[in-house]
Structure 1
Protein backbone atom coordinates (compact mmCIF):
# COMPACT_ATOMS: atom_id res chain seq x y z
CA UNK A 1 0.00 0.00 0.00
CA UNK A 2 2.80 2.40 0.87
CA UNK A 3 4.49 1.71 -2.43
CA UNK A 4 1.23 2.29 -4.24
CA UNK A 5 0.66 5.43 -2.28
CA UNK A 6 4.21 6.48 -2.97
CA UNK A 7 3.73 5.66 -6.64
CA UNK A 8 0.44 7.53 -6.64
CA UNK A 9 2.09 10.56 -5.12
CA UNK A 10 4.86 10.40 -7.70
CA UNK A 11 2.32 10.29 -10.51
CA UNK A 12 0.58 13.33 -9.03
CA UNK A 13 3.84 15.20 -9.03
CA UNK A 14 4.42 14.31 -12.66
CA UNK A 15 0.96 15.53 -13.56
CA UNK A 16 1.49 18.77 -11.67
CA UNK A 17 4.89 19.32 -13.28
CA UNK A 18 3.48 18.58 -16.73
CA UNK A 19 0.54 20.92 -16.19
CA UNK A 20 2.81 23.68 -14.91
CA UNK A 21 5.12 23.31 -17.91
CA UNK A 22 2.16 23.39 -20.30
CA UNK A 23 0.78 26.55 -18.69
CA UNK A 24 4.20 28.18 -18.83
CA UNK A 25 4.59 27.29 -22.50
CA UNK A 26 1.09 28.56 -23.25
CA UNK A 27 1.89 31.81 -21.48
CA UNK A 28 5.06 32.24 -23.50
CA UNK A 29 3.13 31.66 -26.71
CA UNK A 30 0.27 34.00 -25.82
CA UNK A 31 2.32 36.82 -24.26
CA UNK A 32 3.68 38.27 -27.54
CA UNK A 33 0.19 38.25 -29.04
CA UNK A 34 -1.28 40.00 -26.02
CA UNK A 35 1.59 42.49 -26.03
CA UNK A 36 1.11 43.22 -29.74
CA UNK A 37 -2.62 43.72 -29.22
CA UNK A 38 -1.88 46.04 -26.32
CA UNK A 39 0.53 48.08 -28.43
CA UNK A 40 -1.97 48.22 -31.29
CA UNK A 41 -4.66 49.42 -28.89
CA UNK A 42 -2.36 52.14 -27.55
CA UNK A 43 -1.56 53.19 -31.12
CA UNK A 44 -5.27 53.44 -31.93
CA UNK A 45 -5.85 55.59 -28.85
CA UNK A 46 -3.01 57.96 -29.78
CA UNK A 47 -4.38 58.23 -33.31
CA UNK A 48 -7.88 58.94 -32.02
CA UNK A 49 -6.54 61.66 -29.73
CA UNK A 50 -4.12 63.50 -32.00
CA UNK A 51 -4.78 62.48 -35.62
CA UNK A 52 -8.39 61.47 -36.20
CA UNK A 53 -9.85 64.99 -36.30
CA UNK A 54 -7.90 65.91 -39.45
CA UNK A 55 -7.00 62.55 -41.01
CA UNK A 56 -10.27 60.70 -40.40
CA UNK A 57 -11.07 57.06 -39.76
CA UNK A 58 -8.21 54.76 -40.84
CA UNK A 59 -6.41 57.72 -42.41
CA UNK A 60 -8.94 58.21 -45.20
CA UNK A 61 -8.90 61.98 -44.72
CA UNK A 62 -11.66 64.51 -44.08
CA UNK A 63 -13.56 66.02 -46.99
CA UNK A 64 -12.74 69.70 -47.34
CA UNK A 65 -9.45 69.48 -45.44
CA UNK A 66 -6.17 69.48 -47.39
CA UNK A 67 -4.49 66.81 -45.29
CA UNK A 68 -2.57 63.71 -46.31
CA UNK A 69 -4.45 60.47 -46.92
CA UNK A 70 -2.43 58.30 -44.58
CA UNK A 71 -3.79 54.94 -45.73
CA UNK A 72 -2.63 55.37 -49.33
CA UNK A 73 -0.54 52.27 -50.07
CA UNK A 74 1.99 54.13 -52.21
CA UNK A 75 2.49 56.62 -49.39
CA UNK A 76 2.86 53.88 -46.78
CA UNK A 77 5.47 52.23 -48.99
CA UNK A 78 7.67 55.32 -49.39
CA UNK A 79 7.26 56.62 -45.81
CA UNK A 80 9.95 55.06 -43.63
CA UNK A 81 9.90 55.13 -39.83
CA UNK A 82 12.26 58.12 -39.62
CA UNK A 83 9.90 60.15 -41.80
CA UNK A 84 6.98 59.35 -39.49
CA UNK A 85 8.97 60.20 -36.37
CA UNK A 86 10.16 63.58 -37.68
CA UNK A 87 6.73 64.43 -39.06
CA UNK A 88 5.08 63.88 -35.69
CA UNK A 89 7.77 65.90 -33.93
CA UNK A 90 7.84 68.86 -36.36
CA UNK A 91 4.25 68.88 -37.61
CA UNK A 92 3.32 70.71 -40.81
CA UNK A 93 3.11 74.48 -40.18
CA UNK A 94 1.82 75.20 -43.69
CA UNK A 95 -1.14 72.91 -43.06
CA UNK A 96 -1.65 74.01 -39.44
CA UNK A 97 -0.55 70.63 -38.09
CA UNK A 98 1.22 71.08 -34.75
CA UNK A 99 4.30 69.15 -33.80
CA UNK A 100 4.19 66.91 -30.74
CA UNK A 101 7.27 66.68 -28.55
CA UNK A 102 8.26 63.65 -26.45
CA UNK A 103 6.54 65.21 -23.45
CA UNK A 104 3.23 64.74 -25.33
CA UNK A 105 3.88 61.60 -27.41
CA UNK A 106 6.86 59.53 -26.29
CA UNK A 107 9.19 57.78 -28.73
CA UNK A 108 7.65 54.45 -27.75
CA UNK A 109 4.16 55.80 -28.38
CA UNK A 110 5.28 57.04 -31.81
CA UNK A 111 6.30 53.45 -32.57
CA UNK A 112 2.87 52.20 -31.48
CA UNK A 113 1.17 54.85 -33.60
CA UNK A 114 3.19 53.93 -36.70
CA UNK A 115 2.47 50.23 -36.14
CA UNK A 116 -1.23 51.02 -35.95
CA UNK A 117 -1.12 53.05 -39.18
CA UNK A 118 0.90 50.39 -41.01
CA UNK A 119 -1.67 47.77 -39.98
CA UNK A 120 -4.12 49.40 -42.41
CA UNK A 121 -2.06 47.92 -45.26
CA UNK A 122 -0.15 44.93 -43.81
CA UNK A 123 0.80 43.75 -47.31
CA UNK A 124 2.92 46.88 -47.83
CA UNK A 125 6.59 46.89 -46.83
CA UNK A 126 8.09 50.30 -46.19
CA UNK A 127 11.20 51.28 -48.11
CA UNK A 128 14.50 51.89 -46.36
CA UNK A 129 16.70 54.86 -47.23
CA UNK A 130 20.10 56.30 -46.50
CA UNK A 131 21.05 59.94 -46.04
CA UNK A 132 22.74 60.30 -49.43
CA UNK A 133 21.88 63.47 -51.31
CA UNK A 134 20.58 63.17 -54.85
CA UNK A 135 22.75 64.94 -57.42
CA UNK A 136 20.84 67.40 -59.57
CA UNK A 137 20.72 70.88 -61.05
CA UNK A 138 18.32 73.12 -59.06
CA UNK A 139 17.97 75.65 -61.89
CA UNK A 140 16.92 72.99 -64.37
CA UNK A 141 14.80 71.47 -61.62
CA UNK A 142 12.90 74.74 -61.21
CA UNK A 143 12.09 74.80 -64.92
CA UNK A 144 10.84 71.22 -64.83
CA UNK A 145 8.92 71.87 -61.60
CA UNK A 146 7.11 74.81 -63.18
CA UNK A 147 6.14 72.63 -66.11
CA UNK A 148 5.24 69.47 -64.20
CA UNK A 149 4.29 70.33 -60.62
CA UNK A 150 3.32 73.99 -60.25
CA UNK A 151 -0.33 73.60 -61.26
CA UNK A 152 -1.06 71.40 -58.23
CA UNK A 153 1.70 72.35 -55.79
CA UNK A 154 1.90 76.11 -56.42
CA UNK A 155 4.58 78.47 -57.76
CA UNK A 156 6.44 78.40 -54.44
CA UNK A 157 5.59 74.81 -53.62
CA UNK A 158 3.11 76.09 -51.04
CA UNK A 159 0.42 73.67 -52.19
CA UNK A 160 -2.84 74.23 -54.07
CA UNK A 161 -4.58 70.96 -54.90
CA UNK A 162 -1.63 68.96 -53.65
CA UNK A 163 0.30 69.38 -50.38
CA UNK A 164 3.10 71.85 -49.82
CA UNK A 165 6.45 70.54 -51.02
CA UNK A 166 8.46 73.42 -49.58
CA UNK A 167 7.07 73.31 -46.06
CA UNK A 168 10.30 73.44 -44.01
CA UNK A 169 8.97 70.74 -41.68
CA UNK A 170 8.31 68.46 -44.64
CA UNK A 171 11.80 69.02 -46.06
CA UNK A 172 13.32 68.38 -42.63
CA UNK A 173 11.36 65.12 -42.36
CA UNK A 174 11.77 63.75 -45.89
CA UNK A 175 14.98 62.29 -47.28
CA UNK A 176 15.92 62.92 -50.91
CA UNK A 177 15.02 59.30 -51.68
CA UNK A 178 11.60 59.74 -50.08
CA UNK A 179 10.87 62.74 -52.32
CA UNK A 180 12.21 60.93 -55.39
CA UNK A 181 10.19 57.76 -54.76
CA UNK A 182 7.07 59.82 -54.03
CA UNK A 183 7.35 61.40 -57.47
CA UNK A 184 8.17 58.11 -59.17
CA UNK A 185 5.32 56.15 -57.58
CA UNK A 186 2.81 58.99 -57.46
CA UNK A 187 -0.30 58.67 -55.33
CA UNK A 188 -2.76 56.21 -56.89
CA UNK A 189 -6.31 57.22 -56.09
CA UNK A 190 -5.39 60.92 -56.26
CA UNK A 191 -4.69 63.32 -59.12
CA UNK A 192 -0.94 62.76 -58.83
CA UNK A 193 0.48 60.31 -61.37
CA UNK A 194 3.86 58.65 -61.13
CA UNK A 195 6.78 59.72 -63.32
CA UNK A 196 9.69 57.51 -64.40
CA UNK A 197 12.95 58.12 -62.57
CA UNK A 198 15.08 60.46 -64.67
CA UNK A 199 17.63 63.22 -64.27
CA UNK A 200 14.83 65.74 -64.77
CA UNK A 201 13.03 64.33 -61.72
CA UNK A 202 16.27 64.35 -59.72
CA UNK A 203 16.76 67.98 -60.67
CA UNK A 204 13.32 68.72 -59.19
CA UNK A 205 14.40 67.09 -55.91
CA UNK A 206 17.50 69.31 -55.85
CA UNK A 207 15.35 72.37 -56.55
CA UNK A 208 12.99 71.59 -53.67
CA UNK A 209 16.00 71.25 -51.36
CA UNK A 210 16.82 74.92 -51.94
CA UNK A 211 13.81 75.78 -49.75
CA UNK A 212 15.17 73.85 -46.77
CA UNK A 213 15.95 75.78 -43.59
CA UNK A 214 18.36 74.89 -40.81
CA UNK A 215 16.77 73.58 -37.64
CA UNK A 216 17.58 75.13 -34.27
CA UNK A 217 18.05 72.44 -31.62
CA UNK A 218 15.92 70.11 -33.69
CA UNK A 219 13.10 72.64 -34.03
CA UNK A 220 12.02 75.08 -36.73
CA UNK A 221 13.05 78.73 -36.19
CA UNK A 222 10.38 80.77 -34.43
CA UNK A 223 10.59 83.62 -36.98
CA UNK A 224 10.18 81.23 -39.90
CA UNK A 225 8.44 82.59 -43.00
CA UNK A 226 6.39 79.82 -44.58
CA UNK A 227 5.99 79.31 -48.34
CA UNK A 228 3.29 81.58 -49.71
CA UNK A 229 3.62 84.03 -46.82
CA UNK A 230 4.98 87.52 -47.30
CA UNK A 231 6.52 89.76 -44.66
CA UNK A 232 6.09 93.51 -44.97
CA UNK A 233 9.51 95.11 -44.99
CA UNK A 234 10.00 97.87 -42.41
CA UNK A 235 10.16 101.36 -43.82
CA UNK A 236 13.55 103.02 -43.82
CA UNK A 237 14.21 106.25 -41.94
CA UNK A 238 14.62 108.06 -45.24
CA UNK A 239 11.17 106.95 -46.39
CA UNK A 240 9.63 107.99 -43.08
CA UNK A 241 11.25 111.42 -43.35
CA UNK A 242 9.94 111.92 -46.88
CA UNK A 243 6.41 111.02 -45.74
CA UNK A 244 6.68 113.46 -42.82
CA UNK A 245 7.72 116.26 -45.20
CA UNK A 246 4.81 115.50 -47.51
CA UNK A 247 2.37 115.62 -44.57
CA UNK A 248 3.77 118.99 -43.42
CA UNK A 249 3.36 120.42 -46.92
Structure 2
Protein backbone atom coordinates (compact mmCIF):
# COMPACT_ATOMS: atom_id res chain seq x y z
CA UNK A 1 0.00 0.00 0.00
CA UNK A 2 1.43 3.38 -0.97
CA UNK A 3 2.18 5.92 1.72
CA UNK A 4 -0.35 8.40 0.32
CA UNK A 5 -3.19 5.87 0.32
CA UNK A 6 -2.28 4.68 3.80
CA UNK A 7 -2.28 8.20 5.18
CA UNK A 8 -5.71 8.92 3.69
CA UNK A 9 -7.04 5.77 5.37
CA UNK A 10 -5.35 6.71 8.62
CA UNK A 11 -6.76 10.21 8.55
CA UNK A 12 -10.23 8.81 7.96
CA UNK A 13 -9.94 6.13 10.61
CA UNK A 14 -8.46 8.36 13.26
CA UNK A 15 -10.89 11.24 12.86
CA UNK A 16 -13.07 11.51 15.98
CA UNK A 17 -15.83 12.98 13.86
CA UNK A 18 -15.96 9.75 11.90
CA UNK A 19 -15.36 7.58 14.94
CA UNK A 20 -19.04 8.10 15.75
CA UNK A 21 -20.26 7.37 12.22
CA UNK A 22 -22.76 4.60 11.63
CA UNK A 23 -20.41 2.28 9.74
CA UNK A 24 -16.98 1.31 11.11
CA UNK A 25 -14.05 2.05 8.84
CA UNK A 26 -11.62 -0.70 7.78
CA UNK A 27 -8.43 -0.70 9.85
CA UNK A 28 -5.32 -0.44 7.67
CA UNK A 29 -2.34 -2.71 8.30
CA UNK A 30 1.15 -1.38 8.79
CA UNK A 31 3.82 -2.53 6.36
CA UNK A 32 6.80 -4.27 8.05
CA UNK A 33 9.01 -1.20 7.73
CA UNK A 34 6.28 1.01 9.20
CA UNK A 35 5.79 -1.35 12.15
CA UNK A 36 9.54 -1.37 12.76
CA UNK A 37 9.65 2.44 12.71
CA UNK A 38 6.70 2.64 15.13
CA UNK A 39 8.35 0.17 17.50
CA UNK A 40 11.55 2.23 17.42
CA UNK A 41 9.52 5.34 18.26
CA UNK A 42 7.83 3.50 21.11
CA UNK A 43 11.12 2.36 22.64
CA UNK A 44 12.56 5.85 22.29
CA UNK A 45 9.64 7.89 23.58
CA UNK A 46 7.34 5.61 25.57
CA UNK A 47 9.21 2.67 27.10
CA UNK A 48 10.69 4.68 29.96
CA UNK A 49 7.28 5.06 31.60
CA UNK A 50 5.03 2.48 29.94
CA UNK A 51 7.72 -0.22 29.96
CA UNK A 52 9.54 -1.85 27.03
CA UNK A 53 6.80 -4.51 26.85
CA UNK A 54 3.91 -1.98 27.17
CA UNK A 55 2.91 -3.43 30.55
CA UNK A 56 2.82 0.02 32.17
CA UNK A 57 3.77 1.41 35.57
CA UNK A 58 7.51 1.42 34.86
CA UNK A 59 7.55 5.07 35.96
CA UNK A 60 5.06 7.76 37.01
CA UNK A 61 2.08 5.36 37.18
CA UNK A 62 1.88 5.23 33.38
CA UNK A 63 -0.98 2.91 32.41
CA UNK A 64 -0.61 -0.44 30.69
CA UNK A 65 -0.84 -0.25 26.92
CA UNK A 66 -1.43 -4.00 26.74
CA UNK A 67 -4.85 -3.93 28.42
CA UNK A 68 -7.46 -5.39 26.08
CA UNK A 69 -10.12 -3.24 27.75
CA UNK A 70 -8.16 -0.05 27.10
CA UNK A 71 -7.25 -0.93 23.53
CA UNK A 72 -10.82 -1.84 22.63
CA UNK A 73 -12.35 1.38 23.96
CA UNK A 74 -9.52 3.86 23.27
CA UNK A 75 -8.69 2.82 19.70
CA UNK A 76 -8.23 4.76 17.60
CA UNK A 77 -8.77 8.39 18.41
CA UNK A 78 -8.50 8.43 22.23
CA UNK A 79 -5.09 6.79 21.93
CA UNK A 80 -4.14 9.39 19.36
CA UNK A 81 -5.33 12.26 21.55
CA UNK A 82 -3.30 10.98 24.50
CA UNK A 83 -0.11 10.59 22.51
CA UNK A 84 -0.48 13.79 20.53
CA UNK A 85 -1.58 16.18 23.25
CA UNK A 86 -0.54 14.48 26.47
CA UNK A 87 -2.25 14.82 29.82
CA UNK A 88 -1.59 18.23 31.41
CA UNK A 89 -1.18 17.95 35.14
CA UNK A 90 0.53 14.58 34.77
CA UNK A 91 4.01 13.48 33.60
CA UNK A 92 2.47 12.55 30.21
CA UNK A 93 3.48 15.31 27.85
CA UNK A 94 2.21 15.87 24.33
CA UNK A 95 4.37 14.33 21.60
CA UNK A 96 2.89 16.09 18.58
CA UNK A 97 5.32 18.49 16.91
CA UNK A 98 2.62 21.16 16.67
CA UNK A 99 2.79 21.65 20.44
CA UNK A 100 6.54 21.15 20.74
CA UNK A 101 6.83 17.37 20.70
CA UNK A 102 9.09 15.21 18.52
CA UNK A 103 6.48 13.36 16.41
CA UNK A 104 4.55 14.31 13.30
CA UNK A 105 0.83 13.58 13.10
CA UNK A 106 1.55 10.71 10.69
CA UNK A 107 4.01 9.22 13.20
CA UNK A 108 1.42 9.49 15.97
CA UNK A 109 -1.15 7.72 13.79
CA UNK A 110 1.40 5.04 12.96
CA UNK A 111 2.06 4.52 16.67
CA UNK A 112 -1.67 4.10 17.35
CA UNK A 113 -1.96 1.40 14.69
CA UNK A 114 1.17 -0.32 16.02
CA UNK A 115 -0.22 -0.43 19.57
CA UNK A 116 -3.45 -1.90 18.23
CA UNK A 117 -1.59 -4.57 16.27
CA UNK A 118 0.70 -5.41 19.19
CA UNK A 119 -2.40 -5.92 21.31
CA UNK A 120 -3.67 -8.56 18.90
CA UNK A 121 -5.82 -6.18 16.82
CA UNK A 122 -8.89 -6.50 19.08
CA UNK A 123 -12.25 -5.46 17.69
CA UNK A 124 -12.87 -1.88 18.87
CA UNK A 125 -15.78 -1.22 21.20
CA UNK A 126 -17.71 1.86 20.12
CA UNK A 127 -18.68 3.36 23.47
CA UNK A 128 -20.37 6.36 21.88
CA UNK A 129 -20.47 9.90 23.18
CA UNK A 130 -23.82 10.11 24.97
CA UNK A 131 -23.77 11.75 28.36
CA UNK A 132 -24.07 9.46 31.40
CA UNK A 133 -26.85 10.76 33.63
CA UNK A 134 -25.52 10.63 37.18
CA UNK A 135 -25.42 12.67 40.37
CA UNK A 136 -22.00 14.32 40.60
CA UNK A 137 -22.44 15.22 44.28
CA UNK A 138 -23.19 11.60 45.17
CA UNK A 139 -20.36 10.50 42.90
CA UNK A 140 -17.87 12.56 44.91
CA UNK A 141 -18.55 10.33 47.90
CA UNK A 142 -18.22 7.17 45.82
CA UNK A 143 -14.93 8.44 44.41
CA UNK A 144 -13.57 9.28 47.87
CA UNK A 145 -14.47 5.83 49.20
CA UNK A 146 -13.46 3.60 46.32
CA UNK A 147 -11.13 5.53 43.97
CA UNK A 148 -9.11 8.16 45.82
CA UNK A 149 -6.70 5.72 47.48
CA UNK A 150 -5.27 4.84 44.06
CA UNK A 151 -6.16 7.80 41.86
CA UNK A 152 -5.62 10.50 44.51
CA UNK A 153 -7.91 12.79 46.44
CA UNK A 154 -7.63 15.34 43.65
CA UNK A 155 -7.12 12.91 40.80
CA UNK A 156 -3.35 13.38 40.89
CA UNK A 157 -2.55 9.65 40.75
CA UNK A 158 -1.06 7.77 43.70
CA UNK A 159 -0.61 4.18 42.54
CA UNK A 160 -2.87 4.49 39.51
CA UNK A 161 -3.44 6.75 36.53
CA UNK A 162 -4.02 10.45 37.24
CA UNK A 163 -7.61 11.38 36.43
CA UNK A 164 -7.44 15.06 37.33
CA UNK A 165 -6.19 16.45 34.05
CA UNK A 166 -8.27 18.66 31.77
CA UNK A 167 -7.10 17.21 28.44
CA UNK A 168 -8.34 13.72 29.27
CA UNK A 169 -11.62 14.88 30.78
CA UNK A 170 -12.29 17.46 28.07
CA UNK A 171 -11.87 14.98 25.22
CA UNK A 172 -13.02 11.67 26.73
CA UNK A 173 -16.68 10.62 26.40
CA UNK A 174 -18.57 9.68 29.54
CA UNK A 175 -19.02 6.08 28.42
CA UNK A 176 -15.27 5.56 28.07
CA UNK A 177 -14.94 6.42 31.77
CA UNK A 178 -18.04 4.41 32.66
CA UNK A 179 -16.75 1.32 30.82
CA UNK A 180 -13.43 1.43 32.67
CA UNK A 181 -15.20 1.68 36.03
CA UNK A 182 -17.50 -1.23 35.29
CA UNK A 183 -15.05 -3.53 33.49
CA UNK A 184 -11.69 -2.51 34.91
CA UNK A 185 -8.44 -2.71 32.99
CA UNK A 186 -7.34 -6.30 32.59
CA UNK A 187 -3.69 -6.97 33.38
CA UNK A 188 -3.57 -3.99 35.75
CA UNK A 189 -4.55 -3.32 39.38
CA UNK A 190 -7.67 -1.53 38.08
CA UNK A 191 -10.34 -4.06 38.96
CA UNK A 192 -13.90 -4.25 37.75
CA UNK A 193 -16.35 -2.48 40.05
CA UNK A 194 -19.36 -4.27 38.59
CA UNK A 195 -19.74 -6.39 41.71
CA UNK A 196 -18.86 -3.61 44.14
CA UNK A 197 -20.79 -0.59 42.91
CA UNK A 198 -24.37 -0.44 41.68
CA UNK A 199 -25.06 0.87 38.17
CA UNK A 200 -26.32 4.10 39.75
CA UNK A 201 -23.11 4.53 41.74
CA UNK A 202 -21.02 3.97 38.62
CA UNK A 203 -23.10 6.59 36.82
CA UNK A 204 -22.61 8.95 39.74
CA UNK A 205 -18.82 8.66 39.84
CA UNK A 206 -18.73 9.12 36.07
CA UNK A 207 -20.74 12.32 36.47
CA UNK A 208 -18.38 13.44 39.24
CA UNK A 209 -15.34 12.93 37.02
CA UNK A 210 -17.05 14.84 34.22
CA UNK A 211 -17.71 17.73 36.63
CA UNK A 212 -13.94 18.07 37.07
CA UNK A 213 -13.36 18.71 33.35
CA UNK A 214 -12.63 22.40 33.88
CA UNK A 215 -10.24 21.77 36.78
CA UNK A 216 -10.27 19.56 39.86
CA UNK A 217 -10.34 22.43 42.33
CA UNK A 218 -12.27 24.95 40.31
CA UNK A 219 -15.86 25.74 41.07
CA UNK A 220 -18.04 23.63 38.79
CA UNK A 221 -19.20 25.73 35.86
CA UNK A 222 -22.92 25.76 35.16
CA UNK A 223 -24.05 23.74 32.20
CA UNK A 224 -25.22 25.95 29.37
CA UNK A 225 -27.43 25.12 26.40
CA UNK A 226 -26.02 25.52 22.89
CA UNK A 227 -26.49 29.04 21.54
CA UNK A 228 -28.81 29.46 18.58
CA UNK A 229 -27.31 30.03 15.17
CA UNK A 230 -28.96 33.43 15.16
CA UNK A 231 -26.80 34.35 18.18
CA UNK A 232 -23.56 33.02 16.72
CA UNK A 233 -21.77 36.39 16.42
CA UNK A 234 -19.62 37.13 19.45
CA UNK A 235 -19.21 40.78 20.43
CA UNK A 236 -21.27 42.08 17.49
CA UNK A 237 -20.39 45.74 18.12
CA UNK A 238 -16.65 45.17 18.41
CA UNK A 239 -13.84 45.52 15.88
CA UNK A 240 -12.71 42.65 13.69
CA UNK A 241 -9.81 40.48 14.94
CA UNK A 242 -6.29 40.85 13.62
CA UNK A 243 -4.01 37.84 13.20
CA UNK A 244 -1.67 36.21 10.71
CA UNK A 245 -2.50 32.98 8.94
CA UNK A 246 -0.43 29.86 9.55
CA UNK A 247 0.05 27.44 6.64
CA UNK A 248 -2.58 29.04 4.45
CA UNK A 249 -5.87 29.39 6.32
CA UNK A 250 -5.14 28.46 9.91
CA UNK A 251 -5.10 30.47 13.14
CA UNK A 252 -2.98 29.42 16.11
CA UNK A 253 -4.39 28.73 19.57
CA UNK A 254 -2.38 31.66 20.94
CA UNK A 255 -3.95 34.07 18.46
CA UNK A 256 -7.46 32.71 19.03
CA UNK A 257 -7.06 33.02 22.80
CA UNK A 258 -5.83 36.58 22.37
CA UNK A 259 -8.68 37.75 20.16
CA UNK A 260 -11.25 36.09 22.42
CA UNK A 261 -9.78 37.94 25.39
CA UNK A 262 -9.81 41.15 23.34
CA UNK A 263 -13.53 40.51 22.75
CA UNK A 264 -13.31 40.95 18.99
CA UNK A 265 -16.22 40.38 16.64
CA UNK A 266 -16.23 36.83 15.24
CA UNK A 267 -18.13 33.57 14.90
CA UNK A 268 -16.59 30.46 16.46
CA UNK A 269 -17.83 27.12 15.13
CA UNK A 270 -17.38 23.75 16.87
CA UNK A 271 -17.60 21.31 13.95
CA UNK A 272 -17.39 18.06 15.93
CA UNK A 273 -20.23 15.65 16.62
CA UNK A 274 -22.68 17.73 18.65
CA UNK A 275 -22.39 15.53 21.74
CA UNK A 276 -18.71 16.47 22.02
CA UNK A 277 -19.65 20.15 22.38
CA UNK A 278 -21.46 19.38 25.62
CA UNK A 279 -18.45 17.50 27.05
CA UNK A 280 -16.21 20.52 26.61
CA UNK A 281 -15.86 23.35 24.12
CA UNK A 282 -14.14 26.68 23.66
CA UNK A 283 -16.35 29.23 25.35
CA UNK A 284 -18.51 31.11 22.87
CA UNK A 285 -18.44 28.37 20.24
CA UNK A 286 -21.62 27.37 18.45
CA UNK A 287 -21.98 23.65 17.63
CA UNK A 288 -22.17 23.29 13.85
CA UNK A 289 -21.29 19.62 13.20
CA UNK A 290 -19.63 18.75 9.92
CA UNK A 291 -22.87 16.94 8.96
CA UNK A 292 -25.14 19.97 9.53
CA UNK A 293 -27.80 21.00 7.04
CA UNK A 294 -25.94 23.28 4.59
CA UNK A 295 -28.92 25.50 3.93
CA UNK A 296 -29.48 26.23 7.62
CA UNK A 297 -25.81 27.08 8.13
CA UNK A 298 -25.64 29.40 5.12
CA UNK A 299 -28.82 31.27 6.03
CA UNK A 300 -27.76 31.80 9.66
CA UNK A 301 -24.17 32.96 9.28
CA UNK A 302 -23.37 36.64 8.59
CA UNK A 303 -22.21 37.62 5.11
CA UNK A 304 -20.83 41.00 6.12
CA UNK A 305 -17.19 39.96 6.38
CA UNK A 306 -17.38 38.80 10.00
CA UNK A 307 -14.56 36.34 10.64
CA UNK A 308 -15.74 32.72 10.99
CA UNK A 309 -13.29 30.46 12.78
CA UNK A 310 -13.88 26.70 12.92
CA UNK A 311 -12.29 24.01 15.05
CA UNK A 312 -12.55 20.27 15.61
CA UNK A 313 -10.55 17.53 17.30
CA UNK A 314 -8.96 15.78 14.33
CA UNK A 315 -7.12 18.24 14.74
CA UNK A 316 -8.37 19.77 11.48
CA UNK A 317 -10.30 17.33 9.26
CA UNK A 318 -13.90 18.21 10.18
CA UNK A 319 -13.15 21.93 10.54
CA UNK A 320 -11.34 21.93 7.21
CA UNK A 321 -14.35 20.37 5.51
CA UNK A 322 -16.69 23.04 6.94
CA UNK A 323 -14.22 25.80 6.09
CA UNK A 324 -13.93 24.53 2.50
CA UNK A 325 -17.71 24.51 2.18
CA UNK A 326 -17.97 28.08 3.50
CA UNK A 327 -15.30 29.31 1.10
CA UNK A 328 -17.13 27.67 -1.80
CA UNK A 329 -20.30 29.46 -0.70
CA UNK A 330 -18.60 32.84 -0.84
CA UNK A 331 -17.57 33.38 2.78
CA UNK A 332 -14.11 34.94 2.48
CA UNK A 333 -13.05 35.66 6.07
CA UNK A 334 -12.74 32.10 7.37
CA UNK A 335 -10.04 30.29 9.32
CA UNK A 336 -9.44 26.98 11.11
CA UNK A 337 -7.82 26.46 14.51
CA UNK A 338 -4.48 24.81 13.72
CA UNK A 339 -4.10 22.80 16.94
CA UNK A 340 -7.75 21.69 17.31
CA UNK A 341 -9.39 21.57 20.71
CA UNK A 342 -7.03 18.82 21.84
CA UNK A 343 -4.06 21.09 21.30
CA UNK A 344 -6.01 24.01 22.76
CA UNK A 345 -6.50 22.14 26.04
CA UNK A 346 -2.99 20.68 26.05
CA UNK A 347 -1.54 24.19 25.74
CA UNK A 348 -3.46 25.28 28.83
CA UNK A 349 -6.30 27.32 27.32
CA UNK A 350 -9.71 27.14 29.03
CA UNK A 351 -12.86 25.25 28.09
CA UNK A 352 -16.50 25.39 29.09
CA UNK A 353 -19.04 22.60 29.50
CA UNK A 354 -22.44 22.47 27.88
CA UNK A 355 -25.85 20.90 28.17
CA UNK A 356 -27.68 18.99 25.46
CA UNK A 357 -31.09 20.34 24.60
CA UNK A 358 -32.18 17.18 22.84
In the aligned structure 1, how far is the partner of 2:30 from the partner of 2:179? 34
213-222 or 175-184, larger mean C-alpha shift: 213-222
1:206 Cα offset (Å) = 0.6
Q: Which residue of 2 aligns with 1:91?
A: 86
| Residues 74 and 67 (structure 1), Cα distance of their counterparts in 2 relative to 1, 3 Å cut | same
Structure 1 SS opposite 2:118:
coil
Aligned positions, number:
195
1:176 Cα offset (Å) = 0.9
More strand as a share of residues: 2
213-222 or 112-121, larger mean C-alpha shift: 213-222
Pairs within 5 Å for 1:1-40: 36-40=31-35
Structure 2 SS opposite 1:59:
coil
Could you list the runs of 5+ residues in structure 2 that have no partner in the other structure? 7-27, 215-279, 283-339, 351-358
In the aligned structure 1, how far is the partner of 2:60 from the partner of 2:213? 25
179-188 or 43-52, larger mean C-alpha shift: 43-52
Q: Which residue of 2 aligns with 1:156?
A: 154
Matched, 1:105 2:103: yes
Q: Which residue of 1 aligns with 2:189?
A: 191
| Residues 187 and 37 (structure 1), Cα distance of their counterparts in 2 relative to 1, 3 Å cut | same
In the aligned structure 2, how far is the partner of 1:132 from the partner of 1:55? 30
Deviations 1:101-127 (A, max 9, x none): 254423322221012111222152221
In the aligned structure 1, how far is the partner of 2:50 from the partner of 2:117? 16
Larger radius of gyration: 1
In the aligned structure 2, how far is the partner of 1:129 from the partner of 1:102? 29
TM-score in terms of structure 2 length: 0.49
Larger relative contact order, structure 1 or 2 (CA cutoff 8 Å, min sep 6): 1
In the aligned structure 2, how far is the partner of 1:109 from the partner of 1:223? 25
The two structures, once aligned, show a CA RMSD in angstroms of: 2.8
Q: Which residue of 1 aligns with 2:37?
A: 42
Q: Which residue of 1 aligns with 2:65?
A: 70
TM-score in terms of structure 1 length: 0.68
Deviations 1:9-37 (A, max 9, x none): xxxxxxxxxxxxxxxxxx9xxxx999621
